[in-house]
Amino acid sequence: MKNIYLFCLLLVCGLMSFLSAANLIPEDKNSTLVVEQAYIRATIPGTSISSSYMEIENQSDSTVSLLSVSSDISPRIEIHQHIMTDGMMRMRKLDSLAIESKARVKLQPSGLHLMIFDVATPLNPKEQVELTLHFSNNVSVTMEVPVYSPVQEKAAQKTMLKMHKHHH
């Protein structure tokens, strides 16, 4: 009888510490991962494919991985990397994208990107799309991402280039 009581006590204690640990996660939210310069390409008429680019900074003290991305606009969003094989540019799907502590990863044309398949309705410039990034530390980042035309994309890249030159 005494043993059962002890067992129950341990169970309750275990459960309580588990719950308090779980409670810590939302407090940590927003301070660990910063997403900037995000945009998504307008769909080309007659196609249902797009891609998205951004910079992700991991401000936490440990490596965090981007595991998946979800959005109402598409049932299938993948993390892709461009690689050169035999002089040919190819795309490879990544299962996850690790970002080291205090590091910043750039998703940019000809490099890492989010590939968006089966876009149900065309994406037009000036629209906003909601994307949610799911990370390995249980943090999800939801944001409104602007849709850019090729001209807007070029303009944005020029400003980003200027900004980066400014930093050095």
Nearer to Cu ion, 41 or 80 (CB): 80
CB of 115 to Cu ion, least distance (A): 4
Q: Tell which residue, 31, 32, 35, 94, has the closest CA to residue 68.
A: 94
CB of 80 to Cu ion, least distance (A): 3
CB of 81 to Cu ion, least distance (A): 8
With contacts defined by CB under 5 A, name the span among 16-24, 84-92, 96-104, 141-149 that binds Cu ion. Answer: 84-92
**9 CB-contact burial (10 Å; exposed 0-12 / middle 13-18 / buried 19+):** exposed
Nearer to Cu ion, 105 or 137 (CB): 105
Return the exposure string of 113-144: e unless at least 16 CB atoms fall within 10 Å of the residue's CB, then b: bbbbeebeeebeeebebebebbbebebebeee
Q: Tell which residue, 107, 93, 101, has the closest CA to residue 35.
A: 107
Sites for Cu ion among residues 54-73 (CB under 5 A) = none
Nearer to Cu ion, 116 or 139 (CB): 116
CB distance 51 to 116 below 8 Å: yes
β-partners of residue 78 are 115
CB of 11 to Cu ion, least distance (A): 48
Q: Using the rule CB under 5 A, is 34 a contact of Cu ion?
A: no
* Amino acid of residue 100: E
Q: Tell which residue, 108, 145, 138, 115, has the closest CA to residue 48.
A: 115
Nearer to Cu ion, 93 or 167 (CB): 93
CB of 160 to Cu ion, least distance (A): 20
Largest CA distance in the chain: 76
Sites for Cu ion among residues 96-155 (CB under 5 A) = 115
CA-CA distance, 122 to 45, in Å (whole number)? 7
Q: Using the rule CB under 5 A, is 80 a contact of Cu ion?
A: yes
Nearer to Cu ion, 35 or 115 (CB): 115
Q: Using the rule CB under 5 A, is 91 a contact of Cu ion?
A: yes
Question: What residues line the site for Cu ion (CB under 5 A)?
Answer: 80, 91, 115
